[in-house]
Amino acid sequence: MKFFLDTADLNEIEEAASWGALAGVTTNPSLYAKIGGKLDDFHAHIGRICEIVGPDCPVSAESVAMTRDEIVKDGIELAAIAPNVVVKVPTMVEGLAATRALADKGIPVNMTLCFSVPQALLAARAGARYISPFIGRFDDIADDGLQQVENIVRAIGNYDFTANTVNGEQVEIIAASIRSANHVTQAALMGADIATVPFGVLKKMVQHPLTDRGLDAFMKDWEKVLNA
Ligand code: E4P
């Protein structure tokens, strides 16, 4: 499993990138609004994220357009920011059509707001490079988001979509809307290719009380060695 950071916060991205295990970043309009982002700075901000993570890390930037042609126009402009930009497109009819058009132009798309197997299969057929099933938002309505991820991973794995995607690359499933380290564990066991996690969850993923206790004991015992 690869790890993406789900944020538009440059400090969080810099910090996570310095840990050496970051493979990409996903943003969305809410995350950009959360950091006080302004419309006229949006493209520059995505450019700054791309610079921090480097050319090998995909950075998803979302189109807020609602029609095929507007999404395609948005997507072309976003893709021009940096070679590692991935255009995030909502899973809807206009979004599917735009995804096909962008994929045909060699622009990778992350189909977002995906909640079902049929949506995921359509996204893959339309040429999506990434598909993002949301876990937490299902849980918010007392449903089982992880079960949907498991179903989607299995359904996508039943078929070969390489001919549909940009440069014939393998479509990858991004477990999104992650709220806990356990979501990451379960999504990994289900075979999701990527987990995109908020910085708070990433920090919790590193921690374990037995690691803290063990480290504490090692340090105390090493003091004895130093004083012997
Ligand atoms: C995915 O790419 C989305 O940005 C994100 O995971 C949504 O998460 P949320 O449901 O916590 O807002």
Secondary structure string (H, E, C) spanning 64-132: CCCCHHHHHHHHHHHHCCCCCEEEEEECCHHHHHHHHHHHHCCCCEEEEEECCHHHHHHHHHCCCCEEE
Q: How far away, in angstroms, is 131 Cα from ligand 1 center?
A: 12
Residue owning the nearest CA to atom 10 of ligand 1: 177
Burial (CB count <10 Å: 0-12, 13-18, 19+), residue 52 = middle
Q: How far apart are CA 5 and CA 7, in angstroms?
A: 6
Q: What angle do CA 166, 95, 146 make, to 5 degrees?
A: 85
Cβ neighbour number for residue 70 with a 10 Å cutoff: 14
Mind listing the domains of the chain with CATH numbers? Answer: 2-226 (3.20.20.70)
Q: What is the mean pLDDT of each run of 10 residues along the chain (228 residues)?
A: 98 98 98 98 98 97 98 98 98 98 97 98 97 95 94 98 90 98 98 98 97 98 97
**pLDDT value of position 187:** 98
Q: Give the residue among 179, 219, 222 at the shortest CA–CA distance from 201.
A: 179
Residue 88 among the catalytic residues? yes
**pLDDT value of position 189:** 98
- Which ligand 1 atom lies nearest to the CA of residue 176? 6
Q: How far away, in angstroms, is 91 Cα from ligand 1 center?
A: 14
The whole-model pTM stands at 0.96
Asked whether 133 and 154 are in contact (CB, 8 A), the reply is no
Residues with CB under 6 A from ligand 1: 6, 26, 28, 112, 132, 134, 136-137, 176-177, 196
| Residue among 88, 203, 220, 224 flagged as catalytic | 88
**pLDDT value of position 126:** 97
Q: Give the residue among 201, 196, 88, 199 at the shortest CA–CA distance from 149.
A: 196
Q: How far apart are CA 95 and CA 88, in angstroms?
A: 9
In sequence order, what are the beta bridge partners of 4? 24, 196
The residue with tokens 């066991």 is: 189
**pLDDT value of position 167:** 87
**pLDDT value of position 165:** 87
Residue owning the nearest CA to atom 8 of ligand 1: 177
Residue owning the nearest CA to atom 7 of ligand 1: 177
**pLDDT value of position 164:** 87
Distances (CA, A) of 187 to 129, 146, 147, 158, 182: 19, 7, 9, 18, 8
Residue owning the nearest CA to atom 6 of ligand 1: 177
